[in-house]
Amino acid sequence: MLTATLAGLGLGLSLIVAIGAQNMFVLRQGFRREHVLAVALICTVSDIVLIVLGVSGVGLVLQAVPWLVEAVRWAGAAFLTVYALLALRRAWRPTGQGLRATSDAGDGTSAGTVATATRTALAPVIATCLALTWLNPHVYLDTVFLLGSVAATHGDARWWFALGAACASTIWFFALGYGARLLGRWLATPRAWRVVDAVIGVIMLALAAGLLIRP
């Protein structure tokens, strides 16, 4: 059981710890200290659902309808392109989204909490997070197909393998979201956020292109 759990943890981390649209979004929300708990929970629960689907053998069913993954691929590429253009627009025309430090004690020092100058409502953040998660075909290829196939090799211990993979997702998304706060002091100016959004925009465009040219 322990061996299967550790194997699931290792494979889960190896698949999830990579520069991707979902991770970049979690990082951005962590930088902004904006709806981090909701984003981390959505990503974690979504991953767990996909892991369960893969381990239960749903991946074999999806292989019978390859057009579904193809449809997700094109929808994901379109969404990533739009998201990238919005990020590049923010980089070109900043909207005062730099961070400002406020003290819990009200003494004006920078040791307190950090708030964003312009907060995004929860609903669009949730919608974006869900889209970046479920419109990514790699999620199905890696989590449902690959992870499910490897889990099947563990026989009766496959659910312990799934538990390890679920732990990997939980640890990663919460560490990524809340760990990003440590970089808040370097993102206290609109100029810093222009750089962040420019990088995000370029990465998202590259990911969209990768989806479109994938054979």
Residue 62: closest CA among 153, 139, 8: 139
By the 8 A CB rule, do 168 and 7 touch?
no
Residue entry with tokens 């732990």: 167
What are phi and psi for residue 98, nearest 5 degrees? -65, 165
Helices (H), the chain: 2-16, 21-32, 36-55, 58-62, 66-92, 122-134, 137-139, 147-152, 158-179, 190-213
Count Cβ atoms within 10 A of the Cβ of residue 96 and give its class: 0-12 exposed, 13-18 middle, 19 or more buried. exposed
In eight-state DSSP terms, residue 184 is G
Average pLDDT for residues 31-39, to the nearest whole number?
91
What is the number of alpha carbons within 13 Å of residue 37 lying toward its C-beta? 0
By the 8 A CB rule, do 169 and 51 touch?
yes
pLDDT at residue 104 greater than cutoff 50: no
By the 8 A CB rule, do 37 and 127 touch?
no
Distance CA 37, CA 50 (A): 20
Most confident range, picked from 11-15, 95-99, 127-131, 189-193: 127-131
pLDDT of residue 3: 81
Can you give the pTM of this predicted structure? Answer: 0.71
What are phi and psi for residue 100, nearest 5 degrees? -125, 135
pLDDT at residue 153 greater than cutoff 90: no
pLDDT of residue 99: 46
What are phi and psi for residue 116, nearest 5 degrees? -85, 150
With both helix axes pointing from N to C terminus, report the angle between 190-213 and 66-92 in degrees, rounded to the nearest 10. 150
Q: What is the mean pLDDT of the chain?
A: 78
pLDDT at residue 96 greater than cutoff 80: no
By the 8 A CB rule, do 98 and 189 touch?
yes
Check residues 81 and 129 and name the one with the higher pLDDT.
129
By the 8 A CB rule, do 85 and 96 touch?
no
pLDDT at residue 176 greater than cutoff 50: yes
pLDDT of residue 115: 42
Please name the amino acid found at residue 4: A
pLDDT in tens, 68-93: 667 777 887 887 788 788 878 877 87
